């Protein structure tokens, strides 16, 4: 493995389990010396002392405590609470990592969980970290417009792409159109070929409506939008199939058969993958100029400060980021 590529880890919400799972994960990994941590050093040290944790290696740490925007921000930890100060620290930890990525000081980013509520309380109005990355990361060298996609992966080969991300369910139907389906499928097909070394990805597309619309009785998006888009993609040589009724699609047989499942909305695809592989699933943001991965769980406020959080998903997120940044 080359040793000149660095991986950035943001520490997430200070009132959650981000620091805990990061430290536990790093202590389990070998060859993790090219990692840079981003966050408040004061908060980090408090977590280590309070949780009686120790980091086995002296990692490079980019401390944001003295940044102009953070000098007067309260660094007090209040376990399990959404607070303005935690939202501010979460945002600027990620922003600092993005700045390093834009300057090619790091090649990939792993993000610990943050609270969308806390960041919005602090005035940063984004639906998630993916949207922040899409806004602030520089565009790809190829000049293409940034199109962040959320891809959830397991080592067992189960992959789910979200066609829409953090969107209210009532807004999903009007967000889906032929153009966005074509663009997203073409891009993810290319990513699977180049980054995941799958020569001809076999893709299953979930229907939006129950029973795939039942010939229009339960909705006409399949007839008017989804199926015509799939037909056009097939003509381009992409092995995309559907639209399939989602309630019968996610069987173990089909998980072995398909390289990727595309779900129309958030819970449609995430319920099956998290139910089967919750601790092993990694959230991967693809389509940007830098790699980003994260664990699939959130801030886990209900167990924050108790030193009982499971670091398995964070461990897998770090391992996948390492693997993808050396894909060439």
* Per-residue confidence (pLDDT) for residue 79, from 0 to 100: 98
Are the beta carbons of 286 and 188 closer than 8 angstroms? yes
Residue from 294, 269, 278 nearest 163 by CA: 269
What's the CATH fold of domain 149-284?
A: Isopropylmalate Dehydrogenase (3.40.718)
Min mean pLDDT across 104-118, 153-167, 198-212 is at 153-167
Tokens 């891809």 belong to which residue? 151
- Average pLDDT estimate for 112-126: 96
Residue from 120, 154, 190 nearest 269 by CA: 154
Q: Which CATH superfamily is domain 1-143+287-328 in?
A: Isopropylmalate Dehydrogenase (3.40.718.10)
Radius of gyration, alpha carbons of the chain: 20
Backbone angles phi, psi at 158, to 5 degrees: -85, 120
Whether the per-residue pLDDT at 81 is higher than 70: the answer is: yes
* Per-residue confidence (pLDDT) for residue 143, from 0 to 100: 52
Domain boundaries, the chain: 1-143+287-328, 149-284
* Per-residue confidence (pLDDT) for residue 2, from 0 to 100: 41
Give the tens place of pLDDT for each residue, 169-200. 999 999 999 999 999 999 999 999 988 899 99
* Per-residue confidence (pLDDT) for residue 140, from 0 to 100: 67
Banded model confidence at residue 278, pLDDT cuts 50, 70, 90: confident
Rounded Cα distance between 317 and 323, Å, is 10
Q: Check if 1-143+287-328 and 149-284 are the same fold.
A: yes
* Per-residue confidence (pLDDT) for residue 287, from 0 to 100: 87
Give the tens place of pLDDT for each residue, 213-264. 999 999 999 999 999 999 999 999 999 999 999 999 999 999 999 999 999 9
């Amino acid at each position: 493995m080359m040793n000149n590529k660095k991986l950035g880890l943001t520490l997430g919400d200070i009132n959650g389990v981000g620091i805990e799972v990061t430290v536990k994960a790093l202590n389990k990994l070998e060859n993790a010396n090219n990692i840079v941590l981003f966050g408040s050093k004061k908060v980090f040290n408090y977590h280590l002392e309070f949780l009686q944790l120790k980091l086995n290696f002296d990692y490079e740490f980019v401390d944001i405590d003295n940044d102009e925007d953070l000098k007067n921000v309260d660094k007090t930890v209040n376990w399990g609470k959404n607070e303005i100060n935690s939202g501010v620290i979460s945002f600027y930890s990620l922003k600092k990592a993005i700045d390093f990525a834009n300057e090619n000081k790091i090649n990939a980013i792993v993000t610990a969980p943050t609270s969308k509520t806390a960041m919005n309380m602090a005035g940063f109005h984004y639906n998630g970290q993916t949207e922040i990355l899409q806004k602030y990361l520089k565009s790809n060298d190829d000049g293409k417009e940034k199109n962040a996609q959320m891809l959830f992966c397991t080592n067992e080969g189960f992959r789910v792409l979200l066609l829409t991300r953090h969107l209210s369910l009532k807004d999903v139907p009007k967000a889906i159109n032929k153009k966005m389906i074509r663009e997203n499928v073409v891009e993810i097909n290319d990513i699977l070929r180049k980054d995941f070394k799958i020569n001809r990805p076999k893709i299953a597309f979930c229907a939006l409506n129950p029973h795939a619309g039942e010939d229009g009785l339960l909705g006409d998006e399949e007839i008017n939008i989804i199926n015509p888009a799939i037909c056009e993609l097939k003509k381009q040589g992409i092995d995309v199939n559907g639209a399939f009724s989602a309630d019968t699609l996610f069987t173990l047989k089909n998980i072995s058969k398909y390289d990727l499942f595309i779900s129309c909305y958030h819970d449609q695809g995430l319920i099956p993958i998290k139910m089967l592989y919750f601790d092993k699933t990694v959230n991967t943001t693809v389509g940007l100029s830098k790699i980003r991965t994260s664990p699939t769980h959130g801030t886990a406020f209900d167990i924050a400060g108790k030193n009982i959080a499971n670091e398995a998903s964070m461990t897998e997120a770090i391992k996948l980021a390492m693997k993808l940044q050396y894909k060439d």
